Structure 1
C-alpha cells in the first residue's frame, strides 16, 4: 500500500512551475532548424570517403553550384563550387545539380540555359572527386522548350536518367526517362514517360527508391518559389520502373508546418548506420524569400512492410550564423558570390585588405556586388573603406541588376543609393571631413525597413537621414534570395579597398 503524501500549497506551486519550465524547454527544442542555412535550393547528396557531400542550385550567382561537406548530416561547411567559370554553352539559370557515382567517377547532372536560344537543357560534369575538379562535358539532354531536374537511377545493371519535360509546352508536365550510356555522358534510345501531371498541380524534383518490390517516385508538386509558393513532397509507386505509378492517397508527405513552408526537391542518402535521410529545401516562414530556400533534413521510415513511406523533419543544429571575414590570406573566402551575367569582378587580397574592382555591362546601374548568402532578413552588415577616390565604395544589398540598395563613400561624400525598376536614385548625400578610413553599416529590421550609418575615425555612428521610410520588399527575385556584401562602382583604373566585412543576425 502506497503512503499518501500531502503537499503544501507552495510545494504544489513549485511542482507546477517546474512542469511548465520543462514543457517550455521541450517546446523550444522542437523548433526545426535548417542543416544548411541560407539559400540552398534543390539539393543533391552523396556519401563518400566516410562523409557526406551536398550540392545545390546557384541560379544567377557565380561561382556556380556550391558544394558543402559534413561528417554527421547536421553540421555542414562550404568547401567549394562545381564551376568557377560558367561552361561555354550556358547563359544562366544554374539549377538542380544531381550527384551520381559509377566507374570510379563522380557525375553532376545539372540544368542551365543554353546561350544560343535560352532554352533550359541538362548538362553533365565529371570528376574523380566529389568536391572538386569537375570538368564540363556539355549537354546530355536537349528536349523541347525545357528539360530540367535530372535524377539518375540504377535499376539492376541499367542506369536511367529522369527529368521534367513540357513545363513550357502547353501540355501536361511529365517525368520522362532515358537509358544512360555506360559512360554516363549520353542517352540511348527514345524517352518514355514515368509520371504525368494530369491534375495540373505541378510535378518535378523527382527522386526514386525501390523497397519491397515497389519503385517509389518522390516528387514535388505546386509552385516552387517566391512568397506565394505552395510546394510539397508527394510519392507514387509501381511494381515496374516504367510504370504505371499509383499516387499515394494520403499525399503529401512533407508540407507546411509551424516554422517552414514550400518543402520540396530533395534526394536520399543512406547514413553510416543504415538509415535513409532526405535532404530537401524549404522557406522559413518568418524570413521567407529574404533567406531563400534553405537546406533541410528528413528521416525516411517504412511503418509497414509493403506500405507507404513516412518522412519526418529532423532538428538541425542551433548555430551562431554571424560571420566576420578578414583578408589576411591571399585566397578569397569561398562564401563570396556575384552576379556573373552583369559584372566581372577582380578581387585581390594582400596586407589585410580586400581590393575590389572590375568591369560591368553598359546598362549596369548598380556596379559590382561581392556578396554572401544571408540566413535571415534581420541583420547588421558592417565594413570599413580604406582608400580614397571618386568611385563609390561600400555595402550593398543586391537582388538583381535592377534591384539593389547600398551605402558607400565617393570622394568626400557618403552616398545612400537605390536601384529599383531599373532606375537609380540617390536617397541621401552627406559631406564628411575625414576621407578614410570610414566605417559603414546597414541595418535591416523585421518590418523589412533599412537604415544606414557611417562613422569617421574616432567618431560615433551617425544615421544617414532620408525623407521617407525605406523598405526592402523590391529586392527578392522569384527563384533566389537577395545577397549582402561589398560594393564597387567606378572605372577600370579605380578600386575599392576594405579591411573587413561583418554580418550579424
Structure 2
C-alpha cells in the first residue's frame, strides 16, 4: 500500500508530532493568524483531522501588532506524565513560551515564558527528570543553544550554552533533541526554508554534548534535484507502536515556469531507516516522493469532499482563522442567526491592522469557492467581499462597495505597489453570490444573483503573483470573507450566509 504526500496540504509548515498510545498529535506554525498553532489528530500518520488550535485565547496570544509573517513561529509538541506540552515563539511579542494540557482537545494553560533567546524551541524530557530547552539563532551566533529548565515555572536552571552549529549551512534552526538507544540525537535544519533546505543530525553520549555530526549528512534534502517537491526540511521524528520510525517535515510544490509556489509550505511524511552504525536516513536516501510506500501503517480510508459552512453553529469550525487578534466588534455569529456577520473596521486589506477578515487556507491547486453575501453599503468606502489573500501587498478581491455615492461590484488586484480596480459595474441588489475558480495558473472570479445560476466571469489573477517567490514571507494563500470601512468603522453589516469550498484535484 502507498500514501500520498503532502499529508496536510496548504499553509501548514514546521510540523511537530508526538504519539500517545495509538494516537498521533501534530502541530504547525500559524504566524499572524488567530487562533494560533493548528492541532491535528491521526491514527495512521497519513490521514489527519484538525481538532482545534492550541492558542485560542487572547490571554495566550496577542497578535494585534503582528506584521505579515510575524506572530507564531515553529512549535514543538511533546507528551510527558499525562500532560501535553507545546512550546513556540511569538516573535511579535513575548518571545519563547510553552503551554500544557491534559486533554489536547480542551483548553490549554496560560503561557509560561522562558528567558532564552532564539526561535524554534524544543522541549526534551530526559529519563532522569531533567528538562532541556533548545532554541536556534541565539544572539551569540547561529546554532542550537540549550539550557535546563524547571518545567513547573519555566525558570532556567543552567546557563544557555551552544550545542552545535550544524554542518556549515546557513540558518541552522529547528532543533529537536531525542534519546534513542544509548545516544542523544540532535536534529537541525540548515540552508534556510527555501530551495537549499536540508535536515542534518549529530549525536552525543550526553544531552549537552559534545555532538558529532552524521557522516552522511544531510539526511534529507531536495536541493538541486528534479523533483516535484522542494525545500524539504524542518523535520521531527516519531516512533510508531510497531517500532517503525517516521519523519514529518515541511516542503513546497512549485508550479508553472518559472516554478513558484503559492499554497505555502506544507506537511509531508516519510519513513526513517537506520544504518548499522545507528544513523537515521529519511525517505529514499534523503529524498521523498508524492507517492510513498506505507509500510505497516494502519491506513484508514479518507474521502475528499466539498465543504460548506453555513455559520449555524455557536463557534467557527477549526479551519477558519482571523487575520491577527480578532476584535469582537468586527464579527458575530449571533447578530443574524445562520450568518457570519462582519462589521467593517478601519483597517483595509492593504493594512497590517486588525481587519474584519475570516478565512480558510487554500489547500488544493484546483478548487471552487463561493459565498453568498448580503450587503447594502450606506457610506462611501464601505466594502465587503471575497478575497484571495497572500499578504497585505499581494491579494485579489471581488467585492460590493460604495464609491462616490454609488453602489458597485468591483474586481481589484493588489500586486506590490500596483493597486488597481480592473473591472467594475453598477450593482443595486442587496444579495449576491461571489465565486473564485482556481487551477495551477489562474484565479477566475465571478458573480451570480443566486447559487442556481452559473457565475458570470468578472476578473482573473495569476496564481504565480501570490507565490512566495514574488510576495515573500512564510505563509500561504487564504480564501477569506472580509469587510472594511476604508479608514472608518462601517455602519453597514455584511452578512455571509455560507461559504462553500470544493476541491477539483487531490491536494
Could you say which TM-score interval applies, normalised by the shorter chain?
0.7 to 0.9
Query: Please, which of 237, 241, 248 is the counterpart of residue 214 of structure 2?
Result: 248
User: How far apart, CA to CA, are the structure 2 residues paired with 1:206 and 1:65?
Assistant: 18
- 8 Å CA contact 1:382–1:441 kept in 2: the answer is yes
Q: List runs of 5+ in structure 1 lacking aligned partners.
A: 1-28
Tell me, yes or no, if the aligned pair for 1:383 and 1:498 is still in contact at 8 Å.
yes
CA-CA distance at 1:423 after TM superposition: 6.1
Separation in structure 2 between the aligned mates of residue 49 and residue 254 of structure 1, nearest angstrom: 27
1:385–1:498 Cα contact (<8 Å) kept: yes
**Aligned match of 2:473 in 475, 478, 481?**
478
What's the secondary structure of 1:473's corresponding residue? Answer: helix
Other structure's SS at 1:95 match: coil
| Alignment coverage as a number of residue pairs | 459
Matches of 2:180 and 2:21, distance apart in 1: 26
How many angstroms does 1:327 deviate by? 2.4
Deviations 1:312-365 (A, max 9, x none): 254688852643222232322221112116976313155432222253448955
Mean CA deviation greater in 383-392 or 294-303 = 383-392
Find the aligned partners of 2:467 and 2:264 in 1 and give their Cα distance.
12
Q: Which moved more, 1:289-298 or 1:452-461?
A: 452-461
CA deviation map 1:451-471 (0-9, x unaligned): 3211124654322258xx756
2-side partners of 1:190 and 1:421: how far apart? Answer: 45
Contact 1:172–1:197 (CA under 8 A) maintained in structure 2: no
The verdict on how the C-alpha distance between 1:218 and 1:471 changes in structure 2, with shifts beyond 3 A counting, is: closer
More displaced stretch, 65-74 vs 271-280: 271-280
* CA separation of 1:213 and 1:114: change in aligned 2, threshold 3 A: same
Instruction: State the 1:114 CA deviation.
Output: 5.0
Q: Which residue of 1 aligns with 2:431?
A: 437
1:266 is aligned to: 235
Q: Distance in 2 between matches of 1:122 and 1:210?
A: 23
The answer to whether the aligner puts 1:293 opposite 2:278 as a matched pair is: no
Establish whether residue 127 from structure 1 lines up as the match of residue 113 from structure 2. no
State which of 136, 140, 156 in structure 1 corresponds to 2:110. Answer: 136
What is aligned with 2:297?
none
Taking structure 1 as the reference length, what is the TM-score of the superposition?
0.82
Larger Rg: 1
Match of 2:148 in 1: 179
Q: Distance in 2 between matches of 1:291 and 1:465?
A: 21
Please say if 1:353 is aligned against 2:347. no
Partner of residue 381, structure 1: 369
SS at the partner of 1:307?
coil
Residue of structure 2 in register with 1:51 after alignment: 23
Q: C-alpha displacement at 1:49, in angstroms?
A: 6.1
Residues 390-429 of structure 1 mapped to structure 2, 5 A cutoff: 390=378, 391-410=382-401, 412-421=407-416, 424-429=419-424
In the TM superposition, residue 283 of structure 1 has moved relative to its aligned partner by 1.0
Contact 1:220 1:232 in 2 (8 A): yes
1:235 aligns with 2:201: yes
Match of 1:148 in 2: 119
Change (3 A) 1:408 1:99: same
Alpha-carbon distance in 1 for matches of 2:55, 2:181 = 39
The yes-or-no answer on 1:219 pairing with 2:188 is yes
2:266 partner SS:
strand
Q: Could you list the per-position Cα deviations for residues 161-215 of structure 1 after superposition, in whole angstroms to 9, with x for gaps in the alignment?
A: 111133xx5x641211111215262221212221014724331112223334322
Map Cα deviations across residues 424-467 of structure 1 (whole Å, 9 max, x no partner).
Answer: 4322111245x1431111233423x333211124654322258x
TM-score by length of 2: 0.82
Contact 1:137–1:185, Cα closer than 8 Å, also in 2: no
2:321 to 337, 360, 368: 337
Q: Equivalent residue for 1:159?
A: 131
Which residue number corresponds to residue 99 of structure 1? 77
Unmatched 5+ stretches in structure 2 = 295-300
Match of residue 298 from structure 2: none
Asked whether the equivalents of residues 403 and 475 of structure 1 are also in contact (C-alpha less than 8 Å), the reply is no
1:369 aligns with 2:357: yes
Show the counterpart of 2:498. Answer: 500
Shift of 1:259: 2.6
Query: 1: distance between equivalents of 2:339 and 2:448?
Result: 19
Across the aligned residues of Structure 1 and Structure 2, the Cα RMSD in angstroms comes to 2.9
Q: CA deviation at 1:383?
A: 1.3
- Counterpart CA distance in 2 for 1:420 and 1:342 is 26
Question: 1:240: how far off?
Answer: 2.8
Pair 1:418–1:432, CA change in 2 (3 A):
same
Counterpart-to-counterpart distance in 2, 1:242 and 1:404: 46
Q: Are the counterparts in 2 of residues 89 and 138 from structure 1 also a CA contact under 8 Å?
A: no
